[in-house]
Chains A and B, each alone.
Chain A
Amino acid sequence: MTWAALGAGRRGTFLYGLVAKAVPNERRQDPTRQARAEVEIVLGQRKLLQRLVPGLMHAFIFWGFIVLLPTILMAMVAAVDGEAELPWLGRQEWFGWLADIFCVLVLVGVATAVVIRKIVRPERFRGSHLGEADFILFMIAGVVTTLLFWHASAYAVGLYPAAGPLSRAMSHAFSPDTNADRFFLWAHLVFVFTFLWYIPRSKHLHIASAAVNVWLARTRSRGRLEPLRFDLPDDELRFGVATIADLTRKEVVDAFSCTECGRCQDACPAYATGKILSPKLVIMGVRDQLFAESDEPIVGNGVPEEMIWDCVTCGACVEACPVSIEHIDHIVDLRRSRVMVDAQFPGEAEPMLRDVERAGNPWGKPQSERAAWAAELGVRILEPGDPAPDYLYWVGCAASFDERARASAEATARLLQKAGVDFAILGPREACTGDPARRMGNEYVFQAYAEQNVATLNDQGVTKIVASCPHCFNTLANEYTDFGGAYEVVHHSELLARLVQDGRLTPNTGTKPITYHDSCYLARHNDVQMEPRELVAAVGRPVEMERSGKQTFCCGAGGAHMWMEERGTPINAERVREATETGAETLAVACPFCTVMLDDGVREAGAPLRVADVSTLLAESLDA
């Protein structure tokens, strides 16, 4: 017992040390939301229950452990003095009942787990250490079974009068002068303390770290990546994560908390379309390097290089994770080191990075042509010194330069004019927000643009921004605050929905079936789901895909993948297939990347779908 406690203590110190040595995070947190997350996610097992059967399986075991915690104290007390009992609780019959019920529930959970792992064998466990899980299940079963038997035999010898009904029923197996109670008590304690020693050395560590990890997870500005600082002395500079020495504290606790459940792997669109990226394996790779205290680079040793480039930063993994691991931070941090220090990254992204840096936009087109789309629409272009408009319409590079994305900007401008909104655009002074560079890992180029754009916006006195592109929207709203830019930012679907609601725009209702594809950067990273749907409902008959809202399936453009070609089945083809199956005629989107990717997908598949932005659909319905 002592030995187990010391072993756990030493390991605990080691683990604590890993966290303390790591780089501190810089997040804006909301303690109320953090507390709510603890209640919902930890106590309420909300994320786990996204899948009902495995969720209940775990919930039973988890709640069982909480309820049964006092029984460990009881056991330790009884070990010291067989006659003694835990004050007050030891005599409560309702506790005896509760203990019995939860013992049964835990065993039901274990049995379910065994069935899932041995008979169902879901794909998400590919790559996980199943042997370790089996041992843990065995230990859980052992703890609980020995507990039951101890209660039963203790009741039989009259030492535990408050035992529950199952214990009492089982007690008939024992004679009143048996020593079985001592045997089962010690067996129970052996199981408990062996488990205690084992926990911090296995993935079961999550039972200690998960609650901490949930507390540390983002509650505000979920789409915001933590910035790096380049104005530090040489030895303090950090360029993302090359080795474990560069990990942040949250990344370390992430690594502690991974249970290898594979829900992230199941949710990942790259994995689903034949790429090798598994968010689970990324975290496991980081964890293995961390525990081995290796000073080798993580990429190429714990985590294969190809994996970090497959990621589209959609966040499905983060949404799915029951212990609030934030995989995107790991992947982007690993990218940062490869891009900024080693200058090693997929060649096809190099032109994009150079274009962003040299031309000011990832299309490499002249900035002077940025407002070409607005020329005939009479849209006000701000000059330095002009009074600030009510709303600054941030058009974004895609809508400025891509002929398919442009339609949405034209529609939005016309709608805003019709509704009498006072807005203007920056035109050639609007440079790329830097999102593709940042997601690619080039934080340096991103910051150069962030600073430039913030200066332009602040000099112009801008306070409110409406953005068409969810990536621009995310960066302006959540990330530019780190560079002195604090603005009230709305997505164009939000503003348009409000205008419709206020009666300033009156669309004609239609009956055509329209299915709406949620952008990752709107729905998952920023909780914007209802407003685009309001617009769709106002102009047609909405039909939902199965993977919608926060469960949306990426179009494949994120993480700078707009500029990279894919191996395997393209992600956009998969999404187009799903859209076609709804039977809708129109695939509504709210993002220029989604527009282009899904339109490409529709053309390649020859699907009978029309891809259109919600602004275009709204504008058409007004004209109709």
Chain B
Amino acid sequence: MVLTEDSRALETKHLGFTISPHEECAVEEAVRIVEASGGEVVVLTLGPAEAEEQLRDCMAIGADRGILLETQGEEWDAQATAAAIVDAIRGEDEPFDLLLFGNESADAAGYQVGIRVAHALGIPVVTGLKKIEFGEGRARCERDVGGARDVYEAPLPALLTVLEGLNLPRYPSVPGRLRAKQKPLALTAVTPPAPQLEMLRLVVPEGQGKEAEVLGEGPAAAPRVVEVLQELGVA
């Protein structure tokens, strides 16, 4: 196990009001790594003041300290988010050995941010991981590709984004939560630059409702069902 005494794992998430299952797995992984080989887990998020609660939840399962880049609740695009995170990381005294992100879906710009941060810091990045093994200053990681796994390797320091299923996150104990209240949390106010992908409006697409769409009755519905299966990409 390569991580040295003062090595650290940084887990980041952003624009979160709730921590996603992918991020939970990332925090759990970070905590396990540091439990096994020493070091420090720092959790970072970009969000409004309420996001402190999620950082405390992370500390309740073992993260050592937190950084909150405090926004006013406005939308941040991937570039701005990544830039803010890079600034915060560069502001740290000691470098990180590992940066872990939760892999969110592309539209929420989850792993876009990770990729951008990695490029800015000049470190390798692998995304969408279901399994990670460490050894000899490198990480061997696996990504699901429908029935098989693609294997990558990256030398540390590296940035990895992980998917739910990587591990089973532990449930925080109450003593852990009470201790978390005392752990250090650094607050930095941040303001976004002018957005390069600027949201104009949200539209609810047609055909969204709570009712089940009845495709037909009896076996006569079969052709329509197959159409839907094809639309969903499963047929």
- A touches B in complex, CB < 8 A: yes
**What is A's interface to B at a CB cutoff of 8 Å?**
230, 237, 239, 339-343, 345, 350, 353, 358, 443-444
User: Which of B18, B170, B171, B177 has its CB near the most chain A CB atoms (within 10 A)?
Assistant: B171
- Contact A340 B173, beta carbon cutoff 8 Å: yes
- Contact B173 A342, beta carbon cutoff 8 Å: yes
- Contact B171 A341, beta carbon cutoff 8 Å: no
Contact of B171 among A239, A350, A443 (CB under 8 A): A350
Return chain A residues, CB-CB under 8 Å to B173.
Answer: 340-343
Q: CA separation between A350 and B172, bound complex, in Å? A: 11
Question: Which residue from chain A places its CB closest to the CB of B171 in the assembled complex?
Answer: A343
Q: CA separation between A489 and B174, bound complex, in Å? A: 31
The number of chain B residues with a CB under 8 A from chain A is 9
* Binary per-residue interface labels of chain B (172-197) against chain A in the complex, 1 for a CB within 8 Å, 0 otherwise: 11110110000000000000000000
12 examples of A-B residue contacts, CB within 8 angstroms: A237-B175, A237-B178, A339-B171, A340-B174, A341-B174, A342-B173, A343-B170, A343-B171, A343-B172, A345-B171, A444-B174, A444-B177
Return chain B residues, CB-CB under 8 Å to A350.
Answer: 171
Q: CA separation between A11 and B231, bound complex, in Å? A: 78
Q: CA separation between A350 and B173, bound complex, in Å? A: 13
The 4 closest A-B pairs by CB, nearest first: A340-B174, A343-B171, A444-B174, A343-B173
Q: CA separation between A392 and B218, bound complex, in Å? A: 47
Question: Which residue from chain A places its CB closest to the CB of B54 in the assembled complex?
Answer: A358
Return chain B residues, CB-CB under 8 Å to A353.
Answer: 171
- Contact B18 A239, beta carbon cutoff 8 Å: no
- Shortest C-beta distance, B188 to chain A (Å), equals 25
**What is B's interface to A at a CB cutoff of 8 Å?**
18, 170-175, 177-178
Question: Which residue from chain A places its CB closest to the CB of B17 in the assembled complex?
Answer: A358
Return chain A residues, CB-CB under 8 Å to B175.
Answer: 237, 239, 340-341
Return chain A residues, CB-CB under 8 Å to B172.
Answer: 343
Return chain B residues, CB-CB under 8 Å to A343.
Answer: 170-173
Q: CA separation between A342 and B173, bound complex, in Å? A: 6
Q: CA separation between A350 and B174, bound complex, in Å? A: 15
Question: Which residue from chain A places its CB closest to the CB of B19 in the assembled complex?
Answer: A358
- Shortest C-beta distance, B60 to chain A (Å), equals 10
Q: CA separation between A230 and B171, bound complex, in Å? A: 18
- Shortest C-beta distance, B231 to chain A (Å), equals 26
Return chain B residues, CB-CB under 8 Å to A342.
Answer: 173
Extra A-B contacts (18), CB below 8 Å, given A230-B178, A237-B175:
A230-B174, A237-B178, A339-B171, A340-B173, A340-B174, A340-B175, A341-B173, A341-B174, A341-B175, A343-B170, A343-B171, A343-B173, A350-B171, A353-B171, A358-B18, A443-B174, A444-B174, A444-B177
- Shortest C-beta distance, A22 to chain B (Å), equals 22
Question: Which residue from chain A places its CB closest to the CB of B168 in the assembled complex?
Answer: A347
- Shortest C-beta distance, B175 to chain A (Å), equals 6
Q: CA separation between A391 and B18, bound complex, in Å? A: 34
- Shortest C-beta distance, B215 to chain A (Å), equals 21
Question: Which residue from chain A places its CB closest to the CB of B179 in the assembled complex?
Answer: A234
Question: Which residue from chain B places its CB closest to the CB of A353 in the assembled complex?
Answer: B171
Return chain B residues, CB-CB under 8 Å to A358.
Answer: 18
Q: CA separation between A343 and B174, bound complex, in Å? A: 8
Return chain A residues, CB-CB under 8 Å to B178.
Answer: 230, 237
Q: CA separation between A239 and B170, bound complex, in Å? A: 18
Q: CA separation between A443 and B177, bound complex, in Å? A: 13
Q: CA separation between A505 and B172, bound complex, in Å? A: 50
Q: CA separation between A444 and B177, bound complex, in Å? A: 10
User: Which of A239, A343, A358 has its CB near the most chain B CB atoms (within 10 A)?
Assistant: A343
Q: CA separation between A353 and B177, bound complex, in Å? A: 15
Return chain B residues, CB-CB under 8 Å to A345.
Answer: 171
Return chain B residues, CB-CB under 8 Å to A341.
Answer: 173-175
Question: Which residue from chain B places its CB closest to the CB of A403 in the assembled complex?
Answer: B210
Question: Which residue from chain A places its CB closest to the CB of B24 in the assembled complex?
Answer: A354
Question: Which residue from chain B places its CB closest to the CB of A240 in the assembled complex?
Answer: B174
- Shortest C-beta distance, A333 to chain B (Å), equals 14
Question: Which residue from chain B places its CB closest to the CB of A358 in the assembled complex?
Answer: B18
Q: CA separation between A302 and B177, bound complex, in Å? A: 29
- Shortest C-beta distance, A342 to chain B (Å), equals 7
Question: Which residue from chain B places its CB closest to the CB of A342 in the assembled complex?
Answer: B173
User: Which of A340, A341, A350 has its CB near the most chain B CB atoms (within 10 A)?
Assistant: A340
Question: Which residue from chain A places its CB closest to the CB of B21 in the assembled complex?
Answer: A354
- Shortest C-beta distance, B21 to chain A (Å), equals 10
Q: CA separation between A341 and B173, bound complex, in Å? A: 5
Q: CA separation between A343 and B171, bound complex, in Å? A: 6
Return chain B residues, CB-CB under 8 Å to A444.
Answer: 174, 177
- Shortest C-beta distance, B164 to chain A (Å), equals 13
Question: Which residue from chain B places its CB closest to the CB of A443 in the assembled complex?
Answer: B174
Q: CA separation between A339 and B174, bound complex, in Å? A: 9
Return chain A residues, CB-CB under 8 Å to B171.
Answer: 339, 343, 345, 350, 353
Return chain B residues, CB-CB under 8 Å to A230.
Answer: 174, 178
Return chain A residues, CB-CB under 8 Å to B177.
Answer: 444
